[in-house]
Amino acid sequence: MAIRAVLFDVGGPLDTETIHERMIDTHIRSSLSNAGIEVSDATYDEAFQWAVESFAPNAYQAVIWRLTGGNPLLAQRIYQDVVEHASQLSTFELREGVERVLAHLRLRGLRLGLAANQPETTLHVLDAAGIGRFFDHRGGQHAWLSKTGRAPLSAGSRDPPGEGP
């Protein structure tokens, strides 16, 4: 059977997220500091490594949980603060060469889609980056396939990817 379509996640394959991730890490550490928990670079790196090695479904939640010593109220408060802060960030770093790859795939007749837990406003970000035109099914719930099997986030949702009802 021939391949007819290719699905892309946004964060990672299309958006390197380097600046975004750095800003989130900084905010987590600042929030922990405001709660009286000072975290060294080595301790933060260890917590992140632990989250990755344990296949945490949400690395930031796992890191915060670990660094708060498993305090559920404090971890939840800090996590909600981080989610609210992250929703205000507007960074997009187009991965080098991705436009060329998308153009090549389209020239081969493949349909391209997004399987991402991103707000629908991300379509505008992809357009502004010059790659939105490559993706089929522009608009509405039909533009997205959720990686978790849940509906994608709406633009006003405060639930992190994979969380919520």
Q: What is the mean pLDDT of residues 13-21?
A: 89
Please give the pLDDT value at position 148: 53
Please give the pLDDT value at position 164: 38
Between 90 and 99, the higher pLDDT residue = 99
Please give the pLDDT value at position 156: 36
pLDDT reading at 94 higher than 80:
yes
Q: What is the mean pLDDT of residues 5-12?
A: 89
Tell me the sheet residues that pair with 133: none
Find the DSSP H helices in 88-150.
98-107, 122-128
Percent of the chain at pLDDT > 70 equals 82
| Residue 6, Cβ density class (10 Å: 0-12 exposed, 13-18 middle, ≥19 buried) | middle
Please give the pLDDT value at position 78: 96
Please give the pLDDT value at position 91: 83
Tell me the sheet residues that pair with 37: none
Q: What is the mean pLDDT of residues 120-142?
A: 79
Query: CA 153 to CA 165: how far, in whole Å?
Result: 11
Lowest mean pLDDT among 31-35, 36-40, 90-94: 90-94
Please give the pLDDT value at position 117: 72
